[in-house]
Amino acid sequence: MDSDHRAVTGARIPDPAVALTSLLRGWWEAYPGTRPTQKALARRAGVDQATMSRYLNPGRPMAAPPRVVRVLHTELRADPARLEEALALAEAVHAARRVPRARGAVGEAVAGGDSAPVRRRVGVPAAVRVLGHLVLLAAAVWVGAWLRPLPPGPSPISSASAPAAQPSPGPSWPVVRLGDVLWEARTVQHLLNAHGHRVEVTGTVDAATVTAVQGFQSERGLDADGRVGPRTWPRLVVTVRAGDRGDAVTALQALLTNAGHPTAVTGSFTTDTEDVLRAFQSAHGMPATGIAEPPVWLALMGSQQPRLHG
């Protein structure tokens, strides 16, 4: 066997899982400043610490999915030019897992090394036999179906009266009006304050709160009816993230706590609040960005427990 053939059959194709793990490990080790722990990275990515350790261990590689690759690229402040490379490796690994490897195909060549002979298996006779069996089986099924009487069709009346399955509705914005109390009133009052319409946070929608709502609605060209509903909420909620402070953050922290994801209600968007928000987003099938945008506010309001919030 000549040297060119040996070079082809003996070449080792790099394992994309090892290459990806080595790349992610390099990002982690090259992190500027104090390197984040694997536990912290696992929490950011929504996986357990053992899994994150495998993602960063070329000795026992486990290919991270593209979603985790993006999280690590952001958290580790990696070179933007390397993201596409890492995503390509992740896609290659997971695509290979989705496509089963064919074995024993007609004309398959099996190379056993530099000096191993090339063996070919030709399965034409077997294929012909299998095809014949399939034809006979199909004919038998067709004859049986032709001889069997047709089952009675559904009654037109029963078909028409059967209710169609309806998809379960998602959360909707609540309608908050004069006299409402608890978390709804507090959230409206905190957010009004965040927009400069100062009211006292009493936990009850009183006349002063209604007047402030009307002023807010008038400023934004909304119907000034004093009620906070589906048209007013998207304008009233505020997008907040790590480092923000103020009444909107207070409202967010109170909603998180009342939704079963407790965090200190301080009005300061700390890393603890960010972690809790990420956990809430993951639990509700949302991207764990740690940023409270209108869809997050909507999901939070749909998760409130009124009797637990005074």
Instruction: Indicate whether 52 belongs to any domain.
Output: yes
Instruction: Indicate whether 190 belongs to any domain.
Output: yes
Residues 302, 192 share a domain:
yes
Whether the predicted pLDDT of 242 surpasses 50: yes
- 55 exposure class (CB count in 10 Å sphere: 0-12, 13-18, 19+): buried
Query: Cα separation of 261 and 174, whole Å?
Result: 20
- What one-letter code names the amino acid at 161? S
Sorting pLDDT into bands at 50, 70 and 90, what band is 2?
A: very low
Sorting pLDDT into bands at 50, 70 and 90, what band is 290?
A: very high
* DSSP state for residue 113 in the 8-state scheme: S
How many domains does the chain divide into?
2
| Domain of residue 294, CATH code | 1.10.101.10
* Cβ(118)–Cβ(110) below 8 Å: yes
Angle at 183 (CA atoms; ends 177, 188), nearest 5 degrees: 50
* Structural domain harbouring 188: 182-308
Q: In the predicted model, what is the mean pLDDT of the chain?
A: 80
Convert the pLDDT of each residue in 185-222 to its tens digit.
999 999 999 999 999 999 999 999 999 999 999 999 99
Instruction: Indicate whether 122 belongs to any domain.
Output: no
Instruction: Indicate whether 235 belongs to any domain.
Output: yes
Instruction: Indicate whether 44 belongs to any domain.
Output: yes
Residues 190, 89 share a domain:
no
Question: Rounded to a whole number, what is the distance in angstroms from the first to the last CA of the chain?
Answer: 84
Whether the predicted pLDDT of 53 surpasses 90: no
Whether the predicted pLDDT of 231 surpasses 70: yes
| Domain of residue 48, CATH code | 1.10.260.40
* Cβ(261)–Cβ(280) below 8 Å: yes
pLDDT for residue 12: 54
Query: Cα separation of 76 and 268, whole Å?
Result: 24
Examine the fold and report which residue of 46, 77, 98 is the final residue of a domain before the chain moves on.
98
* DSSP state for residue 162 in the 8-state scheme: S
Convert the pLDDT of each residue in 85-111 to its tens digit.
989 998 888 777 665 544 444 343 333
